[in-house]
């Protein structure tokens, strides 16, 4: 008897991973758009995704040009406000 699992084949696991990636990126984009603290939102998102640490969640976010652009804009604004 074969036991069926959610990730029983490569294509199914890729689709599940893609959904998690899309959710993580959309959540962080929403947080940035709302002016929320990205680090605090990342900690919550990490917990929601079941990761032991936010370090494990960064992987989901690293391939998003939109998110990287927003993070860069926030960094530029922060640096411009420094004396």
- Per-residue model confidence as pLDDT tens digits over 13-63: 567 777 888 899 999 999 988 989 888 999 999 999 898 888 888 877 877
Does residue 30 belong to any structural domain of this protein? Answer: yes
Q: How much is the pLDDT for 80? A: 95
Range of the domain at 34: 21-80
Residue 81 binned pLDDT confidence (cut-offs 50, 70, 90)? very high
Does residue 37 belong to any structural domain of this protein? Answer: yes
Q: How much is the pLDDT for 43? A: 92
Contact 69, 77 (CB under 8 A): no
Please indicate, yes or no, whether the overall pTM of this predicted structure exceeds 0.75. Answer: no
Number of compact structural domains in the chain: 1
Alpha-carbon distance of 72 to 30, in angstroms, equals 16
* pLDDT of 71 over the 70 cut: yes
Distances from the Cα of 64 to the Cαs of 28, 43, 46, 54, in angstroms?
10, 18, 17, 17
């Amino acid at each position: 008897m074969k036991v069926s699992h959610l990730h029983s084949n490569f294509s199914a696991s890729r689709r599940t991973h893609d959904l998690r990636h899309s959710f993580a990126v959309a959540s962080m984009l929403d947080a940035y758009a709302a002016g929320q603290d990205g680090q605090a939102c990342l900690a919550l998102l990490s917990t929601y995704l079941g990761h032991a640490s936010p370090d494990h969640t960064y992987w989901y976010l690293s391939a998003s040009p939109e998110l990287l652009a927003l993070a860069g804009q926030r960094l530029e604004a922060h640096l411009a406000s420094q004396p």
